[in-house]
A and B are shown apart, each in its own frame.
Chain A
Amino acid sequence: MTNSLREIEDNEVLFITGSNTKEAHPVIANMMLKARRKGAKIIIADPRRVPLVRFAELWLQQRPGTDIALLNTMAHVILKEGLINEQFINEQTTGFNDWRASLDAFTPEAGEKLTGVPKGDLVRAARIYGCSRRAAIYYTMGITQHAQGTANVNAVANLALLTGNIGRPFTGINPLRGQNNVQGACDAGCLPNVYPGYQRVDIPLVQQTFERAWAMPLSVRPGLAATEITGKALEGAVKALYVMGENPVLGDPNTEHTRKGFQKLDFLVVQDIFLTETGMLADVVLPATCFAEKDGTFINTDRRVQRVRKAVEPPGEAREDWRVIAELSKRLGYEMRYESPEEIFEELGRLWPALEGITYGRLERGGIQWPCPTRSHPGTEFLYKGGFPRGKVSFTAVSMAPPVERADREYPLVLTTGRNLFQYHFGSMTRRAAPIESHAGKPYAEIHPEDAEHMRISQDETVRVTSRRGSIRLTARITERVRRGEIFIPMHYAEAAVNVLTNNEALDAFSKTPEFKITAVKVERLAQEG
């Protein structure tokens, strides 16, 4: 997030797109409701009737995969009606005129045709967002999990630049991060192209800094993204895989493909707290500690570094992840000597100035938001105050491209995947919490009443959902939460693992993010099998 959670309640306008905030980030939804009680307007753009729609001034129910048309049309209207922030555009951006020309075609009429949203609503949304200088955008995987994900994000950013709704409190481009420490994992350099602090591995000066710090020659070749590893394993280019705390067999698109790839590996080691579906394929499984059994930090969605504290002793011989890694490293001939997670955190701070001012001691009083370069720095509530670090930033022209898969005669429905309120990710934790499992322990597919009627499917009937990759069986939940022609299946249930259906070849070209929000499927009654 460019801005802070604390600012939400004082937003004037909240534009929420591709985020089911009430279920995926429930406590942020509380903050949004507080903003609404204080008079803020909520606009939601989402193909699904997410629970927050009930509180929205305006809900734009676009067809899946038409986010660019929706966002560009809003920009078109903001431009045409003179709601732009000229001073901001002149002082802080470049490429405005070229970009402006790219919007000519996105008239409200064209927008309506492309997105299915009435043009009057597109115009209203543009006016509400464009008229405010305390307007913030919130988005999640509904924007990014597309083959056009990067383009979608650029289109979101264009709106903020056009209105100058960034670099000030109560504004911003705010992706809500989905996992407790996904921010921290990225910040710490668990990405194939960057060292800690987003410092690129293919820049020699950067590489030399890290070679000195770690006293080891390092590779300049950027590595493989998570979604590329399976393919490379199948090709035989990747022979060994070390998985710590992930379950790619359920998490990656196209389960069959993942399973085959992992089975082809010479060696798979999995370090986790439970024997996951991935662990079952491993040659070695190492028992790890969970959040309650170790000290450390998580970094949340608003860049806040917060302490995790050991509360209980781990079961059996389970060990802290960092100790396992250090011991392994020693056995590979590269000694790592640390007494505590605190020492590791301090080393990270020396390599990335944004964390340098944060110490475990300071964190005792509460979380601190990076960048925090010195011990006396209070942390940074919102980014880009007084300008962008690289100077002016550019508008990016984004054009619409169709999704990789489209509904056709054989696979007439569009599948979207995501979370529900009760379960979490692939369920290894929440499915072992008795009350949650007894309340929300069964897989289901949300189907629009008209589609259900057409297919003669009744409520709670078991159905088979099939894509070009495979099929799963689960219960039909007939509901108007989904659009006609679309179904939604939560990702949490291994017995009806939705990634059996998804497409490993539909990836965003830049981020390698899979197109989990659009897969062509068919739904059949089991009785038809005869």
Chain B
Amino acid sequence: MEKPINSISLVIDGKQISVPSGTTILDAAKQVGITIPALCYHPKVSRSGACRVCIVEVGGTLVTACTTPVSGGMEVITNSPYVENMRRDLIDLILSDHPYDCMVCQKTGECELQELAYKYSIRNPVFRGERRQYAQKDGNPFIDRDMEKCILCGRCVKICDEVQGVGAIDFAYKGFWAKVCPPFEQDLNCEFCGQCVMVCPTGALIGKNWVARGRYWNMREVESTCPYCGVGCTLSLHVKENEIVRVTAKEGRGVNDGLLCVKGRFGYQFVSSPDRLKTPLIRRRKGGDLEPATWDEALGVVASRLKRVKEQYGPDAIAGLSSARCTTEDNYLFQKFMRAAVGTNNVDHCARL
């Protein structure tokens, strides 16, 4: 049985709100339209309060909004000068060990850290010190892992374990040298679903094929449905100059709610493959090669050959195989063609195979 829900009343930035008990301050704030910045929080994974960026003031003390549950009569301030100064220093600290290469970083414009640096106008970091530098590059073909840009928020570690059930990566080493990596720092060898790339707030995890293929603001986004298995994940196709250069999925859209698998996320290059058929082909004599032809000639040959078979042997001497890969409309028309234009029920597709 579901537990009865107790409602809790509190005040956030002067706004009165009632939420079920157990709700965190961050989620409660969302409901009244207040966005509290956060770098380790992600709705798909468990909370850790690691980045501290979501701090808010409750009765004069600072608490992390993503992990603190609401309580009755609580008064929360999310944007006092005290909170904002503290947040600014936190971002500044994170940036003190971050490569300032936003101008060439693939994540520019989509980077949560960059957005916060922008919001708090951090031009030169106050805290000067050592920077982590790693010579070793991960050789896997799917995901660029630049651990110099990693802020150790742990979203990737958690989504890989909690949502994907893989646990390919975890924190290694300690203190300043703490690092997210596969066991023994080998190259990543996992399901390559790319959920980690989806949740990474910085440019630490990037699709390898996205690099230098364009900025997101120069791309058109088209929502469509994945062409692979029957789950029917909703995709965003990012198009630049008539080419798909990236595929993503959005939270809240479709059955997949932002998740994808390796095929859906990284299997799109076939669309612009040079192997694509570009003209009709005809074998002009038995045993000869397939040669380019015009549509008019090709369709003329198909029509006359089908007609001839139909006249000579009857419509049931013709069969059609349709496709589970084509659209419903293509399939409807194909069977209508076989049944009404050819005159046979010899129409099937690969449902059994």
Question: Which A residues are within 8 Å of any B CB, using their own CB?
Answer: 5-6, 22, 24-30, 33-34, 37, 54-55, 144-145, 176-193, 195-196, 201, 210, 214, 216-219, 221-227, 229, 232, 237-246, 248, 251-252, 266-267, 269, 272-275, 279-280, 282-288, 290-302, 304-313, 315-322, 324-329, 331-334, 336, 338, 341, 344-345, 347-348, 366-367, 421-422, 424, 428-430, 432-436, 438-439, 511-514, 516
Contacts and interface: CB of A to CB of B under 8 A. Distances in A.
Interface centre among B191, B313, B350 (most CB of A within 10 A): B350
B229 interface: yes
B267 A430 contact: yes
B261 interface: yes
B324 A180 contact: yes
A269 B318 CA distance: 11
B130 interface: no
B334 A283 contact: no
Contacts of B193: 26
Interface in B336-353: 336-353
A190 B317 contact: no
Contact of A514 (B256, B299, B320, B353): B353
B323 A185 contact: yes
B170 to A, nearest CB: 17
A426 to B, nearest CB: 10
A102 B271 CA distance: 53
Interface stretch (B7-15, B116-124, B274-282): B274-282
Interface of A is mostly: mixed
Contacts of A195: 335, 339
A367 B336 CA distance: 25
B262 A344 contact: no
A27 B162 contact: no
B328 A297 contact: yes
Contacts of B223: 307, 309
Given A336-B333, A429-B270, A432-B273, A312 B255 contact: no
Contacts of A225: 348, 352
B322 interface: yes
B309 interface: yes
A513 B225 contact: no
A24 B220 CA distance: 30
Contact of A223 (B276, B298, B347): B347
Contacts of A232: 319
Interface of B: 140-142, 162-165, 191-193, 208-209, 220, 222-234, 237, 239, 242-244, 253-256, 259-264, 266-273, 275-283, 290, 293, 295, 298-303, 305-307, 309, 312-313, 315-353
Contact of B230 (A177, A240, A345): A177
A252 B348 CA distance: 13
A433 B327 contact: no
A176 B229 CA distance: 9
B269 A185 contact: no
A224 B351 CA distance: 14
Nearest to A351: B332
Contacts of B352: 144-145, 225-227, 511-514
Given A184-B331, A333-B341, A512-B352, A312 B254 contact: no
Contact of A219 (B262, B266, B312, B315): B315
A282 B307 CA distance: 17
Nearest to B297: A284
Contacts of B281: 275, 282, 284-285
A332 B277 CA distance: 25
B231 A301 contact: yes
B328 A429 contact: no
Contacts of A429: 227-228, 267, 270
B347 to A, nearest CB: 6
A332 B222 contact: no
Given A285-B280, A312-B271, 7 more contacts: A190-B335, A219-B343, A283-B305, A300-B230, A321-B326, A422-B262, A511-B352
Contacts of A180: 225-230, 232, 324-325
A284 B324 CA distance: 21
Contacts of B267: 424, 429-430, 433, 436
A181 B324 contact: yes
A190 B337 CA distance: 11
Given A223-B347, A274-B276, A307-B225, A6 B324 contact: no
A345 B332 CA distance: 8
B302 A284 contact: yes
Nearest to A296: B327
Given A178-B229, A333-B341, A312 B239 contact: yes
Contacts of B260: 27
A439 B141 contact: yes
Given A328-B337, A334-B341, A179 B324 contact: yes
Contacts of B345: 192-193, 201, 219, 221-223
A251 B350 contact: yes
A388 to B, nearest CB: 23
Contacts of A327: 299
Given A177-B230, A284-B302, A424-B263, A184 B353 contact: no
B227 A334 contact: no
A226 B255 contact: no
A291 B324 CA distance: 12
A366 B225 CA distance: 11
A176 B255 CA distance: 14
21 contacts: A22-B191, A27-B261, A33-B163, A176-B231, A179-B229, A184-B331, A188-B329, A219-B343, A222-B345, A226-B350, A227-B352, A229-B346, A242-B302, A269-B302, A296-B329, A299-B328, A316-B276, A325-B334, A325-B337, A329-B337, A439-B140
A318 B306 CA distance: 22
B327 A297 contact: yes
A22 B253 CA distance: 21
A183 B321 contact: no
Interface centre among A25, A218, A298, A438 (most CB of B within 10 A): A298
A349 to B, nearest CB: 10
A287 B279 contact: yes
Contact of B237 (A241, A311, A438): A311
B92 to A, nearest CB: 36
Interface centre among A33, A223, A296, A438 (most CB of B within 10 A): A223
B316 A241 contact: no
A179 to B, nearest CB: 4
A219 B281 CA distance: 32
A436 B339 CA distance: 40
A294 B231 CA distance: 20
